[in-house]
Amino acid sequence: MKKVLVVALVLVLVAGLITGCGGGGKQPAGDAGKQPDAGKKEPLVLKAGHSVAETHPYHLGLVKFKELVEQYTNGEVQLQIFANSSLGAERELVEGMQIGSVDVVLSSTGPIGGFAPLMGVVDLPFLFRDEQHAYKVLDGPIGDKLMGELEKAGIIGLAFWENGFRNVTNNKREVKKPEDLKGLKLRTMENPVHMAAFKQLGADPTPMAFSELFTALQTGAMDGQENPIPIIYNNRLYEVQKYLSLTGHFYSPSPLMISKLTWDKLSNEQKEAFKKAGKEAGAYERNLIAQQTAEQVDKLKEKGMVVTEVDKSLFLEATKPVYQQFESKFGKDLIDQIINTK
């Protein structure tokens, strides 16, 4: 009897082992037919950099751009935004696009002329009458031509955004006329047109990375600088500058750009999404620039700055020789086309 029980027990154990190894057993209902989702791609994550504060329209515009890109690509492409020159100053950001260490950059045109020389034409003093004149030029065939120059440097231009009209600040004296600039050591971008214009006005233009500017003004290494109102306010330059003159001497467009190395990784549909998002976010950013410019002049007065209106015609007349200096580089026809655009 004991032998019969032992044999029966062995048979039960063997049957259990066979079933446990899958011999004829069924999968749990919840896992039936389920396979790993091997076809789903991880999103392409891109780095986007700029040089100013997170309260500036550059950053707010890039946040909008990020939202639109992720929406229009159904999350296939995502952006990480780096502010305050954390990926480098503007020139370094542009160089980063060339080698693929940075994917997307929003920059003033200041350093771009070193990579696409014809782009420097927009930096001529008093070239644009107002913002609408600039938009008409930059959003049309002339703007397309200038953006096309970037591709030779391994960069794709998506849309012209805006930094705004630039104004002079300093700690020495109130600037009302060109002669008042004489001898002032002004931080400028490393831009030959900007430097030539300020030399013509009698100042001492000194190129310096924006990330170093606050300290240079604080220590007196620089007497002054020039930038649009939102840059002056959002980067708290009122803490280290006394006088603001509303010279509006240069209009500063800001190309939104992407590395060609990155661009070539995108599908045609993704490229169209980037173009669409760039134009829509650009319109949003321009509106923010206009809004902040209108509000922040009074805020700068409240912060203690002496704000001076100037007769711009005096500065325009004083900088006319700069046009002659750069005519051969940019072409008189192109300059005239821009000036005569209505």
Domains of the chain: 44-340 (3.40.190.170)
What secondary structure letter does DSSP report for 43? Answer: P
Q: What are the tens digits of pLDDT across the range 72-103?
A: 999 999 999 999 999 999 999 999 999 999 99
pLDDT of amino acid 160: 99
Alpha-carbon distance of 21 to 63, in angstroms, equals 54
Q: Are 311 and 177 in contact (CB under 8 A)?
A: yes
Question: What's at 115, amino acid-wise?
Answer: F
Check pLDDT > 80 for residue 318. yes
pLDDT of amino acid 37: 53
Q: What are the tens digits of pLDDT across the range 186-216?
A: 999 999 999 999 999 999 999 999 999 999 9
Alpha-carbon distance of 147 to 255, in angstroms, equals 8
Label residue 34 by pLDDT band (50, 70, 90): very low
pLDDT of amino acid 39: 60
Written as six digits, the tokens of 110 are: 């200041």
Check pLDDT > 80 for residue 135. yes
Q: Strand, helix or coil at 321?
A: helix
pLDDT of amino acid 41: 84
Alpha-carbon distance of 179 to 283, in angstroms, equals 38
Check pLDDT > 70 for residue 16. no
